[in-house]
Amino acid sequence: MNIWPRPHSKQPGTRRRKTSTVRRSAPLVSAATVSAASVLAATCYAIFVFLLVSCSSSKPTDGLVADTKRFTHAIEPTQASHEALVALVESVVDGDTIVVRVDDVTETIRLLGIDTPEKTGGPRPAECFGDQASEFARSLLPAGTEVHLTRDEQTRDQYGRMLAYVHRADGIFVNQALLEQGFATTLFFAPNTAMSEPFQAAADYARRNWIGLWPACGSSDVVLD
């Protein structure tokens, strides 16, 4: 079937000539179209392969620490309007308590705004995911790690521990990372509430996405038998 428009005039002397011209030129137009489509398809495929190879060749960073990096740079260490103390980690007691060296003084630090399950072998009954929370804290804060400590309104609790927000020197916000990865829940005591909103958002993210203790325990504060 001829897909080209018919000529307006039906002159016998020209009809065969025009029809003949159309039949000769149609394959040329079709070949050009096919050629252009082939080039476009080849170009698109080459771009797709390049992107696929680029994505597959990039190495992800290790484990859970890598997952936290898209969140932990959103909050500045000095958001609470207090100057940071530089310290070196000596040890991790459990998920929310660490021991650091500030100058020549050893300090026990209770991480502000969070509460992790109790580990086995501690002074309180062990809770579901307590050991995992402690291990995750150790993976973030091995001995010798430089950290920056910032305070809120009150600097110490009733046990004499220093209360602090803890950032690693590379910017990872440890308190928030524990929340985002489902190793901790929020815990606020007024007036130390400077991070209440972002911390609650981080905890909600873990619970909504069923991360960490949520699929393992179903809820927080589950005491082990």
The number of CA neighbours under 13 Å toward the Cβ of 130 is 19
> What contacts 220, CB < 8 A, 6 or more positions away?
115, 117, 185, 213
Nearest 10 degrees: Cα torsion 35, 41, 44, 50: -100
Annotated active-site positions, please? 110, 118, 161
Vertex 136: Cα angle to 131 and 141 (nearest 5): 125
Q: Strand, helix or coil at 102?
A: strand
CB 147 within 8 A of CB 189: no
Look at the chain and count its residues.
225
Of the candidates 180, 177, 172, which has an alpha carbon nearest to the alpha carbon of residue 206? 180
